[in-house]
Amino acid sequence: MVCYRQSNHRTHKCPLCNSCDNLECNTDTRGKAVTWKTTSFKRQKLFDEVWETPVTKLAKAYGLSDVGLRKICVALDVPLPPRGHWARLAAGKTIPKPALHKTTRTTTYERVVNVIEIDQVLEDRVSKARDSTPNAENSKTPDYSPPLDSTAFSQQAKLVMRAMKSVKLEEGTFSSLGVTWADISVSPDLKERALLLVDRFAHELNVLGAKFENAYPPLPTLRRGMRREAGSNRNCFTLHGQRYFVRIQERITQELMPPTPPKPLRAGARQPAWEYRPPEYRHIPTGKLYASIVDATTYYESYKVEDSPRGVIEVKVRKAVRWVANDAIRRNVEKEVRAERELARRKKAQEWDTAKANKDALMAKLTAFEKMAKGLDRARSLRRFMEEIAASKAAPAELVDSLALMAVMADWLDPLVKASWPDVDGVGDQNPYGSLW
């Protein structure tokens, strides 16, 4: 796609090259990611830097102009060296550095800008694909020369010319839409030029190896103001796997016609009933022709040319076709790279899922082992308590009588023994007979 956003203001410039208009720009914005870059300026640090390095040199290190860096110093209330400061230092004079005074302003300034990051892997793949694809420069086909009459048109141009013969003049234009690989909507005065443009487009497309498809039925006509549904099958040409069609259209203006005055009534005749008359328009051809190569899937104008002081449409056809060919190659490479990266992402995601499942299993084992270790510690503590009771002569009779029960408890807690305790294991935590239901 062209980098210029379609608008009514011709002074709008491309954000990448900053010098083109919507019809002449050949800058490709795909493969370039626009990200936000934040640069923070601390007041004390900036003060030390501007008194150690001239502003002109320091601004280049930050990627700024000296005026922009001075504005940041003003915003942070940072004093700059006076005029002639660096000349005096170069002359060998010693100038003491002042202390940074206190301020009521903010001490931090953040600068946020858009930075264009180029996907180098994608760009290398696109360049390699373009080098391996036969192009017009290496072709031995002669340059296009306008035919003397319609019999010398190419086969694809003759199809379009035959379709134009069957259309009628409507609203001041001959319109052939969706009948062939080229849509034409022009006034009678520009019909011949439009067909010559079609023949030129057909020649340039044949040089690049385009394949034409004209087997689909004509598209149904649309009412005024309606838009064609994207993705519908239509006649087009295929270039490097991408489907396009050519649109050649003349700008037609219209003005409202004054209503027809009613006929004068005869003497004694009654006034006729009110009758609705739809508004009538007069269509005025402007002679301004433009041609575009449109994506047949999305109906987006991939490239658009028109007459300008830089040249007429005829001299821009080759550039438009080659740009669309390169755009088709880029689309294919982007699709391949996107598929490869998606496959790599899924592989990494699967590896992460496997590692996460292994981690969860290990953590579950750890929890079980910790529970066993806790039970073992409790069993060992209980056995030591039993030994102390048995060794003590002053132990209470209640504890001495419970030594057998403690032994059962210790064996039940010990994960290495796992002895049963019928009085505990056979009783659940909830009373199964505590409710009617």
Domain's final residue, options 338, 353, 386: 338
Does the residue 215 lie in any domain?
yes
Supply the pLDDT for residue 233: 84
DSSP-based three-state secondary structure for 407: helix
Whether 174 and 62 share a structural domain: no
Domain's final residue, options 313, 338, 363: 338
Residue type, 285: P
Does the residue 250 lie in any domain?
yes
In sequence order, what are the beta bridge partners of 85? none
Whether 76 and 153 share a structural domain: no
When divided into structural domains, the chain yields a total of 2
Does the residue 269 lie in any domain?
no
Does the residue 381 lie in any domain?
no
Whether 44 and 108 share a structural domain: yes
Does the residue 169 lie in any domain?
yes
Supply the pLDDT for residue 403: 93
What percent of the chain shows pLDDT beyond 70? 89
Is residue 11 pLDDT above 80, yes or no? Answer: no
Does the residue 328 lie in any domain?
yes
Mean pLDDT of the chain: 86
Averaged pLDDT for residues 189-200: 94
Supply the pLDDT for residue 139: 61
Whether 107 and 182 share a structural domain: no
Is residue 57 pLDDT above 90, yes or no? Answer: yes
Please identify which residue in the block is written with the tokens 């549904």: 229
β-bridge pairing 281-295 and 301-306: antiparallel
pLDDT-wise least confident of 69-73, 365-369, 388-392, 432-436: 432-436
Domain's final residue, options 118, 150, 166: 118
Give the residue among 390, 261, 321, 399 at the shortest CA–CA distance from 136: 321
Averaged pLDDT for residues 204-225: 86
Whether 289 and 228 share a structural domain: yes
Does the residue 151 lie in any domain?
yes
Pull the structure tokens for residue 67.
């005026």
Whether 96 and 185 share a structural domain: no
Q: Give per-residue pLDDT as tens, 130-187.
A: 988 876 565 666 788 888 888 889 999 999 999 999 899 988 899 998 899 999 999 9
Does the residue 396 lie in any domain?
no
pTM equals 0.66
pLDDT-wise least confident of 19-33, 106-120, 212-226: 19-33
What percent of the chain shows pLDDT beyond 90? 59
Is residue 49 pLDDT above 70, yes or no? Answer: yes
Whether 113 and 135 share a structural domain: no
Q: Give per-residue pLDDT as tens, 297-322.
A: 988 999 999 999 989 999 999 999 99
Give the residue among 192, 314, 308, 180 at the shortest CA–CA distance from 247: 180
Q: Give per-residue pLDDT as tens, 68-85.
A: 999 999 999 999 999 999
Domain span including residue 92: 32-118
Is residue 30 pLDDT above 70, yes or no? Answer: no
Whether 42 and 183 share a structural domain: no
d(CA 346, CA 336): 15
Whether 210 and 319 share a structural domain: yes
